[in-house]
Each structure stands twice: as C-alpha cells, then as structure tokens.
Structure 1
Amino acid sequence: MTAMNDDEPLMGIGAFARRVGLTPSALRFYDDCAVLRPARVDATTGYRYYAPEQAPRATLLRRLREAELPLVEATAVLDGPPEEAREVLRAHLRRSTESAAAARAAIEDVLRELPGGARSGQARVGGAELAGAVRQVGSAVAVGTVREEFPVLGRVLIELAEQELRLVATDRYRLSVRALRPLAIGGEPCGLTVGIEELRDLAGWARGLPEVAIEVDAGEVRVRGGGEERALSVADEAFPAYRMVLDGLADARHRVITDRAALCTAVAERGGDGPVVLRTGDGVLTVEGGRTLSALCTGSPLRIAFDPAVLLPALEAGVGPDVLLEVASGGEPVVVRSADQGSFTTLVMPVRTP
C-alpha cells in the first residue's frame, strides 16, 4: 500500500466510485485482485479511502473493462511498458472485430430465414457502375454440375447492408464480392438472390442509364430507371454465409503486386493441362514454363499453384492496371483485388503444387 500524507484529501469508496464511474463493489473486487488498491484502509472499520491521483488509473481501468478486456490484459495495459500495452490492445481489437462481424453475419442470416422475416431496403446507384459490378462477379457464378447440385450457386446475392450495395457470387472455388457506394440508401439490411442470366440482361439495360433505383421488398427485387421498371426473379434458398469466410481469413504473409494485363496474358499463354504455378523472387513474379513479370513482392519467396480456369477469370474481372495477390498460405484462399481499390475482391482457392 502506498504511503500517503495525512493532509492529502482522501475520498470514501462511495465518493470515489461516483467520481470514476465504477461501483463500490467493483472497487472492492479490484482491491481484492490487487489491480486498484485503496490509498488507505481504516484498521478499525475496514473502510477504504482513495486519493484523487488514483482517479486516472481507475477511469482507464473502467474504460478497458467496458471494452471487455480481460483483467489480466487490462493489468498489462495499466502496468506494462507502452509497447506491450499497444500490442495487447491491438490484439483485443482484432478479436473483438472478428467476433462482432461473425455475430452480425450469423444473426442477419437467421433473421432472413425466420418466417415473416423479409425486410425491405432501397438504393440508387449509377447504371454503368451496376453493370460493371455484374460483369465482375459474374465469372464466379457456378456452372455445369456444381450448379446442378447447388442451384443457389448459379445465382448472385444482391445485398443492402452497412451503407453499401453488394453483389456476391461463388462457385465454391472462387468468391467474388463487389461493393458499391450508393448515391442514396435506406431501409433495413436485406438481401435476395437472383439468376445471373436475368441479371446480365438487366446490366445491359442499365449500362446506358445515369442511375437506377433498386428496391428489395418482401421477397422481390425491382429495378427502376429511365421511366421503366424491371422485376427480377428471386429464390428462397439461403445464400452461403460469405461474410464468415471473409472475416475468417488469416493475415497475409505474402503480397504480390504486378501488371494485371501482363499476368492475364502469361496465365492464358501457359496453356496445357494441369495447374499454373506462380513463383516469386527478387522483384519478379514468374509463371513457371512461361513469362517472368516485374513485381513488388513482400514476404519470403513463394511458390503457389492455381487452376487456370479459376484464376484467369478472377484476374480478367479486375479493374485498374495492377493486381494485388494476398497469400496467407498455400492451402488457404488467396485474395485477388486491385492494388488501389478494395471495393472488388475475389477469393481464389489454390491447388496442390506439382
């Protein structure tokens, strides 16, 4: 217990609790845990007394606990060196963000599936922007036997959430997400799936319009623009919980930035059967058996393989001159996106390296 000058004003536990925003029971608990000791304890009554200079520590402790920081980690922030405190807080922030995102995705999925759970939302976007988004995600829609087995993968999710209009498609080997910032948006978070063929027809019509209004309401999707209205057929099947996949991505250990068009050409030229293998080196990206491209590479040297029929459409759907590949490991989804634009993201599964 810290020695105090008897002339210094001390506060009883009730007054100190009111000052710092903690309850007296919480202060007793923190005393028992040796996290926040009182300045003095009356030997006869057992009453606890606190000094004014203890208020900043108590206030910081309250804020940390309100953020649901475990007491052991809160103690590290209070008493450890600044760098350790930053590391603890950043780790807790990552965990909290991931947990909140997973909970949000799960709850929104359940709400959509509950009887009578249909919700409505509206958004206005540029017609050409919507058409471009349809083109970008369209390559990830399932075809052939995968679509026959899982019909919902032959559709595109149109979702209104978090002030964005999102188009999402997946064939299990790729996952493409295009987020648009609407000119205006309202209503509740909601989403429905529509057929890709119908959506492509809509894109051709919307391309020449300055803007279109999209309405999702009670199991219907309607699009208005240029004095016309078009309704899209929707399905009752639940779309895969794609946000849980995105939120569960491991941190990238390797990043590669290279010319997108050149990489498309190199992958297309590779031809033949089997996977296409990419290898990073000192400032280069090599397509084994093909071209070597200039590249910005971070992380240790990397060798990773893809099915060219999966990788090439993901590259071609991108925007801008450069492409960014983010790789956590050879067995996890690889993030493919524009180097300077994060609004379109595709995940591509690698294959076994030959």
Structure 2
Amino acid sequence: MDDELLSIGSFAREVGLTPSALRFYGDCDVLVPAHVDAVTGYRFYSPDQVARAVLLRRLRAAGVPLPEVGAVLDGTAEQARAVLAAHAQQAQEVAEAAQAAIEAILDSLPGGARRTLARVGGAELASAVRQVSPSVGDGAARAEFPVLGCILVELDDQEVRLVATDRYRLAVRTLRARVEGPAARLVVDAAAFGDVASWALPFAEVGIEVDERGARVRGGGRAQNLPTSDEGFPDYRLILDALPSPRNRLITDRNALRAALLRSPGPAVLRTEDQQLAISGGTFQPAVHTGPPLRIAFDPAVLVPALEAGVGPDVLLEISAPDQPVVVRSADQGSFTTLVMPVHTEGTRTTP
C-alpha cells in the first residue's frame, strides 16, 4: 500500500469531514476511498482526493442535495453553475419562508444519594426527543402495551441514547454527553418527556439525573421530574443486530419524497428507474441508487413521520428485503436512525 495514503481519521481531520460522513459518501460512490484493506476493512485516502473532499464539504455545508452534488464534482463548469444557481434560488425561498414562520410564532408568544448525571445541551435534548417521538406508540398499540407510549433513556459510555418504537417504527438517537456515575436505564412517559424537553430547550446545558428518588432534568438552578415506568422496554439491540446487510441504497430529496407520499391516497409504491425514483401516482424525482432494481411499498402514515424527524436535505433508505425493516437515515446526522416496516402490495419486492 502507498505510504502516502491517509487513514480515514487523518483524512477526516485534513478535509473537515467526520469519519462517519466519509463512510457515507464512500458507500454512495461520491468519495470512494483510494484503498480498502481486504482484511480489516480500514479505508485509506490519497492526498489527491483532498480537493474533491473539501469541495464536497463546502457543497454540503451550502445544503446542496447529494443527487445534485455529482453535477458539480464531475460535470462541466456550465452544469455546475446551473445547479448552484438553482439551489441558491431555492435556498433563498426556503429561508424567506422560514423567517416568516418564525416571526409569526414569535408574535403569538405571551410575555447525596448514589446517582448518575449526564450533561447535554438543552437544545440537543429537545431535538432528540422531537426526533424519536414520532415512533412512540399511540392508540391501540399503546392501549395493549403501555410501555410503547414511553421513551427508553440509556446513560452510559459518555452517551445518552433515546429509543422509541410502536412496533412498525424504531427510532434511536444518540447524544454525546458527560456522564458521571454508573450506567443507568429508565423508561420515561413520552408526553411528559416532551414537555420537559421543551422546558430544557433554552438552557445551554442541562443535567439528566437519576438516583434512588427517581429521575429529573436540571437546568438554570431548577428541576423537572421525569415520570418513569417499571415496565420492560423491547430489546431494540436485538432488532438492530438482526438486520441483514442492505442490498439497496437509495438517496433522494427528503422534502420532495415527503410531499409525494402525502399526495398518495394509499400505500405508496417506490421503484427505481435510471437513477430516478418513481412514486405511485406518476411522480418522478432525482435519486442516487445502488443495488438491483427496486420496487417497495410503504404506508405514508408510517414513513412520512420518519422523514419529518430527519435532518438535512437528503434521506438515505437502506433496504435488505421487502419484508424487512428499512433503515432511514441521513448523511448530516449519523447519530439518528429510524427503522420503518414496508407494506406488501402486489408486485412489491426487490429483485432477487
């Protein structure tokens, strides 16, 4: 192997991207490692790839969707200018709409025991609760299994993990934290946790505290109790560990896919066609697809909330089989993963 090649960690520091982002871009064939060790799987990069990686980082920082990044990285100067001009116009329109919405919202607002303590940002905690909440069970599922109306909170290994499931979706969000004391695991009522997370939002840092008296969130010299349950939460690790390797990877515009699903009157069939995603009803949109031809169906009521909980302009679907959970994630936040069950309709299957 060339002595000049850089490890993924060294290359990440050089170009300002995280190792998880580099792995994502490699899997998507946007920034493929110069060498992958056949025994260890370690990835190495050439110094010649630095310029491409820096440009990729700048494009992603500007919010350019991944299906359009290739036109800038590999297309002509004219193609790159056209893509960037169109994206700049769209970004301006989105920013103006967001500013108007925020201003409207602002106008509507009225004037000693053994313990575990995890310190996280208040905004980070609020965001994590918001992201996993769509996967909390409600209605009949919650009536049959009350624990599905709760969020699992794990404090260990300098991380806080939030987990929620309704048996059709599973969401896991991991936060880096400063954890003091023994590992702790608690099951918290989701509705109450949402209220506490909203309260914690303004604080630069809050503490999730667990001791023999219960659990609470502390911030600004005050505390909010977290109502907990003694019921056993489903073992989400068994589900994650049992996932087979994906045969299909599909990347497309997250908001465009959401809009198309909302227009679907019933189960939405997704199929790939010449690097485009076709959605039942005749909607086509650009996509990056790897793997065999794909045809799979989803209940919009299940998939749309998973898309809404994501971040960034793109969504990645990792699909192993039409009857297996589909991993929904984004390049912009590897710490948040949702599993969504597809539905069966006539002819919806991945090609064997």
Q: TM-score, normalised by structure 1?
A: 0.65
Task: Note if contact 1:257-1:339 (Cα within 8 Å) is conserved in structure 2.
Answer: no
Matched, 1:215 2:212: no
Indicate the residue corresponding to 1:187 in structure 2: 181
- The SS at the match of 2:246 is coil
- 1: CA distance between counterparts of 2:236 and 2:295? 27
What are the equivalent positions in structure 2 for 1:42-81 lying under 5 Å apart?
none
Deviations 1:289-320 (A, max 9, x none): 14211010000110001111100000110011
Indicate the residue corresponding to 1:66 in structure 2: none
Indicate the residue corresponding to 2:76 in structure 1: none
- 1: CA distance between counterparts of 2:309 and 2:249? 19
Shift of 1:353: 2.5
Shift of 1:215: 1.1
Task: Note if contact 2:157-2:179 (Cα within 8 Å) is conserved in structure 1.
Answer: no
What are the equivalent positions in structure 2 for 1:123-138 lying under 5 Å apart?
123-138=118-133
Shift of 1:86: 4.9
Deviations 1:144-200 (A, max 9, x none): 011000000000011113321011000000000010011x11222221111111111
C-alpha distance 313-219 of structure 1, shift in aligned 2 (>3 A): farther
- 2: CA distance between counterparts of 1:158 and 1:287? 36
- The SS at the match of 2:292 is coil
Indicate the residue corresponding to 1:261 in structure 2: 255
Between 289-298 and 140-149, the greater mean CA deviation after superposition: 289-298
Matched, 1:156 2:148: no
| Identity, % of aligned positions | 58
Matched, 1:169 2:164: yes
Indicate the residue corresponding to 1:147 in structure 2: 142
Shift of 1:216: 2.0
Give the alignment partner of residue 299 of structure 1, picking from 281, 291, 303.
291
- 2: CA distance between counterparts of 1:219 and 1:133? 25
Q: Could you tell me which amino acid in structure 2 is paired with residue 185 of structure 1?
A: V
Q: Could you tell me which amino acid in structure 1 is paired with residue 123 of structure 2?
A: A
Q: Could you tell me which amino acid in structure 1 is paired with residue 217 of structure 2?
A: V
Task: Note if contact 2:168-2:341 (Cα within 8 Å) is conserved in structure 1.
Answer: yes
Unaligned 5+ runs, structure 1: 1-84, 91-118
Structure with bigger RCO (C-alpha 8 Å, 6+ apart): 2
- 2: CA distance between counterparts of 1:339 and 1:285? 19
Deviations 1:241-290 (A, max 9, x none): 001111111001100111111111111112x2x31111112211111114
Q: Could you tell me which amino acid in structure 1 is paired with residue 254 of structure 2?
A: R
Matched, 1:326 2:321: no
C-alpha distance 254-120 of structure 1, shift in aligned 2 (>3 A): farther
- 2: CA distance between counterparts of 1:349 and 1:160? 28
Q: Could you tell me which amino acid in structure 1 is paired with residue 136 of structure 2?
A: V
Give the alignment partner of residue 341 of structure 2, picking from 327, 343, 349.
349
What is the aligned-residue RMSD (CA, Å)? 1.6
Indicate the residue corresponding to 1:249 in structure 2: 243
Q: Could you tell me which amino acid in structure 1 is paired with residue 316 of structure 2?
A: L
Q: TM-score, normalised by structure 2?
A: 0.65
Indicate the residue corresponding to 1:53 in structure 2: none
- The SS at the match of 2:135 is coil
